[in-house]
Amino acid sequence: MVIFRRIEDADWPYIEKIEEEVYVPSLGEELVVLQSKYLASPATCLVAVEESEELAGYCLAYPLDACTVPALNSQTKLGGSVERGNIFIHDLAISAKYQGRGLGAELFAKLCRLIREQGFSSITLVAVQEGPKFWHKLGFTPHSELVADIKEYGVGAQFMVRNIV
């Protein structure tokens, strides 16, 4: 059984390990960058923990204007005036050991319940690597107007949007 909970300080070495394992080196980010995403919205940043208490995956999500794409490896600044309608999923990553079990979809479903309760109406993200297929299955559609802003995310990256219902 998997438990989904908020990120705790002791989780960061495991989050960093999963991030290094899952993403190609050009998409890797410094720990301080990942932590800045968490600090922008701790209530919408989660981990998936296995019965063995091993961290199986994580999600970093925070409020961001719907048509904004953050620069890769850039810290999120706190205290900006952001419309509460949209949340940006910076990372949703599952350790290779736990992939193929539906944990990514479960973690996303948990995030959706949380952000719906908080009044968000849409979700945006940049899907990288094999991500576009996964996110499309979860109801996301490409938003082609921001293609120029995502080149640093690599070939095949897509800016995607989904309304929360």
**pLDDT grade for 78, boundaries at 50, 70 and 90:** low
Q: Is the pLDDT of residue 37 over 60?
A: yes
The continuous run of DSSP H or E covering 39 comes out as helix 31-40
Q: pTM of the predicted model, to two decimals? A: 0.93
d(Cα 34, Cα 15) in Å, to the nearest integer? 9
The closest alpha carbon to 4, from 42, 59, 52, 41, belongs to: 59
How high does pLDDT run on average in the chain? 91
Return the half-sphere exposure (C-beta side, CA atoms, 13 A cut-off) of residue 126: 23
Q: Is the pLDDT of residue 32 over 60?
A: yes
Q: Is the pLDDT of residue 38 over 90?
A: yes
d(Cα 117, Cα 129) in Å, to the nearest integer? 30
Report the pLDDT value the prediction gives residue 146, as an integer from 0 to 100: 60
pLDDT tens digits for range 105-154? 999 999 999 999 999 999 999 999 989 999 999 999 998 766 557 888 98
Q: Is the pLDDT of residue 23 over 90?
A: yes
d(Cα 100, Cα 79) in Å, to the nearest integer? 38
Number of domains into which the chain is organized = 1
Tell me which residue range forms the domain holding 89: 3-163
Report the pLDDT value the prediction gives residue 95, as an integer from 0 to 100: 97
**pLDDT grade for 66, boundaries at 50, 70 and 90:** confident
Report the pLDDT value the prediction gives residue 70, as an integer from 0 to 100: 87
Four-residue CA torsion sign, 15, 129, 27, 34: negative
Q: Is the pLDDT of residue 80 over 80?
A: no
pLDDT tens digits for range 40-60? 999 999 999 998 889 999 999
* Mean pLDDT of all residues in 77-100: 83
Report the pLDDT value the prediction gives residue 16, as an integer from 0 to 100: 97
DSSP lists the bridge partners of residue 63 as 87
CATH number of the CATH domain containing 42: 3.40.630.30
d(Cα 165, Cα 159) in Å, to the nearest integer? 20
Tokens of 35: 């932590």
Contacts of 19 (CB under 8 A, 6+ apart): 28, 29, 34, 91, 93
